[in-house]
Structure 1
Amino acid sequence: MLCKRCGSHVPETSDSCPTCGLKYDAAARQAAGASARKRGAVEGAPYKAGDVAAGRYAIRELVGAGPVGYVFRALDQTHDVEVALKVINPRLLQEPEERTQFSLVLRVGKKLGHPHLLRVYEEGFDQDRPFFTTQLVEGMTLRRMMEMRVAKGQPFTLREVEPLLGQLASALDAAHRYGPHSDLKPENIIVLPDMLKVTDYGLALGLPRPPFVQAQKGFRADGYIAPEYASGGEIDTRMDLYSLAAIVGEMLTGLMPDGDGIPEVLMKNPDLPPAFEALYRRALNANPTARPRTAGEFAAEFSSIVASNSSGTSRPPKSAPPVGQSASSSTARTGDKPPPPVPTDQLPVVNIAPPVMVRPALKDDAPVDATQPMDAAMLAAIMAAPPGTAPPAGGQAPAPSEPVAKPTAQVKPAEPRPAPKANASPAPTPPRAAAKPAAAPRPKKAPDKRSQPVLWLVLLTVAGLATGSAGGYVLLKRLRAGQETGTPAVGGQDPGRTQPVNPQASPVSDPMAPAGSCPPGMRLVSGGTFKMGAPAGEKDKTFDERELENVQVASFCIDEYEHPNQKGNPPTINVSWLEAKQACESLSKRLCTEEEWEKACKGPGSARFPYGNDFDPDRCNTEDASNKDRAVAASGSFPQCRSAYGVMDLSGNVTEWTSSTSQDGTVMAQKGGNFARSDSSVRCSARRSVVPTERDQNLGFRCCAGVGP
């Protein structure tokens, strides 16, 4: 039975809804269940409770009916597990070649293992009835959730849609590796307490188009069908972008595309930003090539709109009038018209100038980098003396000389102001100056003689403190560097590494690095506690990112480049998690944990990106609006894509496997984004959860190891 309040399934043994807690009378439940089964039988349901389908599936109850068939709760007697049995109306598949196509498409669906895609188990025919079985989950369909919000007069806000859209985009991007979903609609999206699931992958591709479209029209679901599918044209994964935009627009305004064209969403909800209408219209464009390329791209643009629109952060109060009935909407109807649709080929492109790269400010737990030696030129600059001029020993000021007196004489405003007697030099006044009138002495040299000792004393004191502190710190660092590498430190540099020319791009040294060594080609990362995850205010945070928390890790070594860890060579790609794990073990190493990978990326300063806190698409092999032609590059091709620990290419280029897994062991964590992703996906805290069998041309790995003696 389905809960009349929230739409969730209520088990026969329960007296209340497990989702919303609504109480049910046992007798009423039995009557309701019998009534539902009776209605199902009258409406032509092929099975009733107690029947066995295909000699294997014991029917428990009818769950519901849709445009193309019926859904039953059934027990798979072979594996003793409950499944969802979906029976297709045999009138939709009458020809042998049509049934063959149905079987082929459903077999492709078995390959899907993404956490947001409902698993497909089996497909077949029973008494000429096509069927397939899927994972059975207890939740509410997005359709039911939308109906409840409409009944309460509470339309979705941008901020509420964002996490759902993020999960949908993740599911679609995973499914698009095999082909379009083709039947995306709210009825096929199941919302669970902690995530959502998308079902019926490929169903529209396994059925003939004309009868499928007619069946959808009977249930008023044809508004989600892309026009190229309905017209019999060529289709690809961008047909799902049309469906996705239709769903998002309906959640925000209740409007759906129809034969009259794209709905005017700003007329219905004037609080929506014009940027959303531009994105909405582009995704619903009749020309598939004008739509966003991927669901992830659509979700990323939507998230940027949410971040820049403060109205998306608040939820309308329960007492708010329905959308379109407010005073602001009346003004929108009678006054200013909404902006005209933005032509697809003339959408504004935001050009972000590359920021001036300044060494990022470190957190309290990251000491300031003072490892640069203080040479003669720097010391001379501190002391305001020409290069090559050094103070004499003992801290005594040198005798006044012309080069030193010139800067003092040029400070004209200070000349007519006599120095106070208390600060006057204790040296006796020369007899020649005393014998002449007060205005007669040379006015330039007398003030210089009195002020220069004080000036030099102040300068020497400051310079001495700075030089002593920096010199002591540098000496300590060099001694420690020599202990870590087993070789003398020359100029504070590792002789085996090529140091960047730009000091702003050089790695920030970690003074807490432990004594020890790493194998050749690996970088040492100090252990301790670091801040893992994304803060609550992170605008690009995704649903599966970890909350910001202090995590303890031991010191470890990490490959400087992606496997095979050779600068200038292409990274190893298209490998499964097990293959990556075995490759590292063959080198007496291991896959890095997610915690280790993120610490190596963030560095001592806990940066958002390996190179700092501001996204720069040219620092690493990543995409943005200005460059859409990226591809996998050889390791080290972007020399500035270096973390504070000296690890290369942690942002972009290829996504990387880690050894971290979910509690049930079904999905693994990937880090690093890839060349086809932008700022939200290539942050150090960003992650993807995928099945370990996934392979991709954008997917690689690197190895870690323990610290040697």
Structure 2
Amino acid sequence: MMSFDSKRLDESVSDAIIMLKTPLCGALVDGDKPQFNRGDVIAGKYEVEKILGSGLIGTTYLVRNKKSRKFLSVKVIWPQLVKSDRDRARLKDLFAEAKAIEGASLIKLGSVAETAEATFFTEEYFPSQSLRELIDEYQAESKSFTLQEACQIVMKVLEAAEILHKAGAFHRNLKPENILISTRRTGPGGRNLVRTIKVSDGLLSDLVNPTIFAESYVSRSDAKYLAPEMTGFDDIGSPSTDIYSVGVMLYELLVGQPPRGTYLSPTQLRGDLPDHIDDVVEIALGETPEERYPSARDMIVDIQRSFTDEGTTAPRGPDVKTLAIGVAIGIALLGALGLYFMVREPPTNDLSAAAQDNVIRRQVQARHRVLTEGEIQKMIESHPEMQYIPEGPFVMGRLHQETPKTATSNEPLAEEHELPSFYIDRFEHPNVQKGPDGSAPKPTVKVTWAQSESACKAQGKRLCTEEEWEKACKGPDNFVYAYGDTFDSTLCGDGKDNDYRIGSYENCISGYGVFGMSAGAREWTSTGKGSAGRRVVKGGMKANHQRGSRCAFAMDESGGYSDASLSFRCCLSAESVPRAEGEEAKPTEK
């Protein structure tokens, strides 16, 4: 049994009755009429096609621009929210703030305008259904969301929330009605579901006076998605506020209804779920912010463990083969559903720098072919001790938005590099998690470049190139560090661990499932640098670990040099993996 706070739903019944009489409660109330109807023209240029819906902020219309003939959405703000000059100024400020935060999973905003008849703003029209409509559709057909479906949807919402959080903003009103989903079927017989997901109304809930917002929630069905500390809605929120809302949605997707009171865990209601998903739900729905995941990324990582640790009762250290399958299939599924998503550092003063990074990451992600499950299985069987890195482009070099604190100006700027497919050892040499005595071994160190090359050749492999090493480290999302864009010493250490052992940091894993690339020892590569005999060394600089554990960081050493911090791992060129019979390649959603 798990505890869920429902007391706040019983507050102020009289206020609830009052709010039921206002449009702020959501849908139009009996007797009310929409401000605009089909054929009406808003501001002289937006012809109304139909009403898309009504919510806390206002009514949304599908319109066509009379000049360009393009479809847009227009959200007409409830008049009581913009009665005064101060209210309207607040709208413009919030709109500008929201528009500056961009991401493929956020609805793109257009412009805000005032006319004698209405105050409104435009946004992209995303042909879709809401998550609420999808849930209702499944229930009407007596269908259940699979674990993969539920987690894929939730992880995409978390990635959108992470974009807001990294900009110092919080949604505060995440619920199925604000999650928009476009679904299409691909492959033989339409057996593959491809879902593109976008989150709407980010930041714009701040338009509503906190008192009105809190009172309106008392009687609303979506109050269940509101974190306990937000009952008064005078709190500005935090990442854990949105994480709570996502936790409620995950529970609802898995068991068919939101949690109420003392609720049963998902595995008590469904026998086909791994035990670890109970932990995910319980942490996300913690009573206080401190009990929940500290970030959206933390919750994403823990959700992924539900696929790598299936059947266990608690999180444990990664098993190499299980992780190989889990990570590889996870990459394929996420890519097929358009879940490769750029995660940025908090915006710097130079917005154009972040925009440049956004563009190149998006272009690279869109061009990466995603393997089918059959291809992945063949890859794992070929070299179970290695991780397969698919052919295609990646972003090499420091990002434009990286600051002098972490990257020097003489480091090459981000560029798109194309690489053929290859395999890379999961760990530093000797590439095992356990030694003969059952303990975690230390990486092989105090080796010269020639000794490293010879050791790889003895295994029928070779040293990795600088480009291969960096791509494997950055993962499909092209992160700054193996684990994300923000330095976190709790994930990969602070560089001061003198007793570092292979796999010491179980969460120090790149998006491709390669361990220790932002931790532990420095590593030789086969790439020459400058004068003859010098070779590029990647990772692990201890003097400034925040800088030196970045995937793009590189230095060079003489080939005859060795020390206690210098190790290596091996790579292997890969032929294109033959597809399993009847399978089609799944392109990444653009």
- Identify the TM-score tier after normalising by the shorter chain: 0.5 to 0.7
1:274-289 aligned within 5 A: 274-289=275-290
Letter in 2 for 1:46: Q
RMSD (Å), alpha carbons: 4.7
Partner Cα distance (1:562, 1:145) in 2: 41
How many residue pairs match? The answer is 378
CA offsets per residue over residues 130-160 of structure 1, 9 Å max, x none?
4222110112221111111112222212122
Which secondary structure state, in structure 2, belongs to the residue aligned with residue 155 of structure 1?
Answer: coil
Residue 237 (1) aligns with residue 239 (2): yes
1:228-267 aligned within 5 A: 228-231=229-232, 232-258=234-260, 260=261, 264-267=265-268
Structure 1 residues 208 and 262, CA, compared in 2 at 3 Å: closer, same or farther? farther
Structure 2 segments unaligned to the other structure (5+ residues): 1-27, 185-193, 322-367, 380-387, 434-451, 457-461, 492-506, 516-546, 555-590
**Displacement of 1:702:** 7.5
Partner Cα distance (1:562, 1:69) in 2: 43
Task: Say if 1:657 and 1:671, in contact at 8 Å, map to a contact too.
Answer: no
Task: Specify which of 511, 522, 534 is matched with residue 682 of structure 1.
Answer: 511
Task: Specify which of 177, 189, 211 is matched with residue 187 of structure 1.
Answer: 177
Query: Where does residue 60 of structure 2 map in the other structure?
Result: 71
Identity, in percent, stands at 17
Which secondary structure state, in structure 2, belongs to the residue aligned with residue 607 of structure 1?
Answer: strand
Structure 1 residues 208 and 40, CA, compared in 2 at 3 Å: closer, same or farther? closer
Structure 1 residues 645 and 250, CA, compared in 2 at 3 Å: closer, same or farther? same
**Displacement of 1:113:** 2.6
Task: Specify which of 470, 473, 480 is matched with residue 650 of structure 1.
Answer: 470
**Displacement of 1:246:** 0.6
1:455-474 aligned within 5 A: none
Residue 52 (1) aligns with residue 49 (2): no
CA offsets per residue over residues 614-669 of structure 1, 9 Å max, x none?
798xxxxxxxxxxxxxxxxxxxxxx9xx99325397379878998xxxxxxxxxx9
Query: Where does residue 291 of structure 2 map in the other structure?
Result: 290
Task: Say if 1:226 and 1:242, in contact at 8 Å, map to a contact too.
Answer: yes
Structure 1 residues 286 and 76, CA, compared in 2 at 3 Å: closer, same or farther? farther
Letter in 2 for 1:572: A
Partner Cα distance (1:229, 1:49) in 2: 38
**Which structure carries more strand by proportion?**
2
Task: Say if 1:92 and 1:212, in contact at 8 Å, map to a contact too.
Answer: no
Task: Say if 1:47 and 1:59, in contact at 8 Å, map to a contact too.
Answer: yes
Partner Cα distance (1:562, 1:62) in 2: 46
Structure 1 residues 652 and 241, CA, compared in 2 at 3 Å: closer, same or farther? farther
Task: Specify which of 61, 76, 85 is matched with residue 87 of structure 1.
Answer: 76
CA offsets per residue over residues 66-90 of structure 1, 9 Å max, x none?
3442110112346542111112222
Structure 1 residues 67 and 645, CA, compared in 2 at 3 Å: closer, same or farther? same
Partner Cα distance (2:318, 2:263) in 1: 31
Task: Specify which of 409, 412, 424 is matched with residue 607 of structure 1.
Answer: 424
1:475-486 aligned within 5 A: none
Query: Where does residue 436 of structure 1 map in the other structure?
Result: none
**Displacement of 1:170:** 1.9
Which secondary structure state, in structure 2, belongs to the residue aligned with residue 112 of structure 1?
Answer: coil
Task: Specify which of 361, 373, 385 is matched with residue 536 of structure 1.
Answer: 373
Query: Where does residue 304 of structure 1 map in the other structure?
Result: 305
**Displacement of 1:97:** 3.6
TM normalised by structure 2 equals 0.53
Structure 1 residues 109 and 145, CA, compared in 2 at 3 Å: closer, same or farther? same
Partner Cα distance (2:550, 2:39) in 1: 48
**Displacement of 1:129:** 4.0
Letter in 2 for 1:607: I
Letter in 2 for 1:69: G
Residue 591 (1) aligns with residue 581 (2): no
Which secondary structure state, in structure 2, belongs to the residue aligned with residue 172 of structure 1?
Answer: helix
Task: Say if 1:93 and 1:208, in contact at 8 Å, map to a contact too.
Answer: no
Task: Say if 2:369 and 2:392, in contact at 8 Å, map to a contact too.
Answer: no
Partner Cα distance (2:262, 2:399) in 1: 51
Partner Cα distance (1:234, 1:166) in 2: 23
TM normalised by structure 1 equals 0.45
Structure 1 residues 610 and 61, CA, compared in 2 at 3 Å: closer, same or farther? same
**Displacement of 1:274:** 3.7
Partner Cα distance (1:189, 1:88) in 2: 20
**Displacement of 1:220:** 1.0
**Displacement of 1:262:** 5.3
Partner Cα distance (2:415, 2:92) in 1: 38
Partner Cα distance (1:612, 1:57) in 2: 64
Structure 1 residues 151 and 354, CA, compared in 2 at 3 Å: closer, same or farther? closer
Partner Cα distance (1:651, 1:219) in 2: 47
**Displacement of 1:175:** 2.2
Partner Cα distance (2:303, 2:226) in 1: 21
Letter in 2 for 1:645: C
**Displacement of 1:40:** 9.7
Letter in 1 for 2:106: L
Query: Where does residue 402 of structure 1 map in the other structure?
Result: none
CA offsets per residue over residues 327-372 of structure 1, 9 Å max, x none?
xxxxxxxxxxxx9xxxxxxxx66456999xxxxxxxxxxxxxxxxx
Partner Cα distance (1:104, 1:204) in 2: 13
Letter in 1 for 2:470: L
Task: Say if 2:57 and 2:205, in contact at 8 Å, map to a contact too.
Answer: no
Task: Specify which of 137, 145, 152 is matched with residue 126 of structure 2.
Answer: 137
Task: Say if 1:672 and 1:683, in contact at 8 Å, map to a contact too.
Answer: no
**Displacement of 1:63:** 2.0
Task: Specify which of 110, 124, 139 is matched with residue 99 of structure 2.
Answer: 110
**Displacement of 1:562:** 5.9
Letter in 2 for 1:135: E
Partner Cα distance (1:276, 1:303) in 2: 10
CA offsets per residue over residues 500-558 of structure 1, 9 Å max, x none?
xxxxxxxxxxxxxxxxxxxxxxxxxxxxxxx986662769x9xxxxxx897599xxxx9
Structure 1 residues 684 and 160, CA, compared in 2 at 3 Å: closer, same or farther? closer
Task: Say if 2:159 and 2:296, in contact at 8 Å, map to a contact too.
Answer: yes
Partner Cα distance (1:180, 1:165) in 2: 17
Partner Cα distance (2:86, 2:249) in 1: 33
Letter in 1 for 2:373: A
Which secondary structure state, in structure 2, belongs to the residue aligned with residue 123 of structure 1?
Answer: strand
Which secondary structure state, in structure 2, belongs to the residue aligned with residue 242 of structure 1?
Answer: helix
**Displacement of 1:685:** 9.1
Partner Cα distance (2:89, 2:160) in 1: 26
Query: Where does residue 572 of structure 1 map in the other structure?
Result: 407
Task: Say if 2:309 and 2:316, in contact at 8 Å, map to a contact too.
Answer: no
CA offsets per residue over residues 183-217 of structure 1, 9 Å max, x none?
21111111113311111111222322232244445
Partner Cα distance (1:535, 1:612) in 2: 30
**Displacement of 1:102:** 2.8
Partner Cα distance (1:290, 1:94) in 2: 40
Partner Cα distance (2:127, 2:175) in 1: 18
Residue 153 (1) aligns with residue 154 (2): no
Partner Cα distance (1:135, 1:211) in 2: 28
CA offsets per residue over residues 551-587 of structure 1, 9 Å max, x none?
599xxxx99x8699xxxx97528x9xxx99xx65xxx
Task: Say if 1:109 and 1:202, in contact at 8 Å, map to a contact too.
Answer: yes
Structure 1 residues 53 and 241, CA, compared in 2 at 3 Å: closer, same or farther? same
Which secondary structure state, in structure 2, belongs to the residue aligned with residue 221 of structure 1?
Answer: helix
CA offsets per residue over residues 5-28 of structure 1, 9 Å max, x none?
xxxxxxxxxxxxxxxxxxxxxxxx
Partner Cα distance (1:672, 1:43) in 2: 54
Letter in 2 for 1:228: E
Structure 1 segments unaligned to the other structure (5+ residues): 1-38, 312-338, 340-347, 356-530, 542-547, 585-589, 617-638, 659-668, 687-696, 704-709
Task: Say if 1:563 and 1:700, in contact at 8 Å, map to a contact too.
Answer: no
Which secondary structure state, in structure 2, belongs to the residue aligned with residue 176 of structure 1?
Answer: helix
**Displacement of 1:127:** 3.7
Which secondary structure state, in structure 1, belongs to the residue aligned with residue 35 of structure 2?
Answer: coil
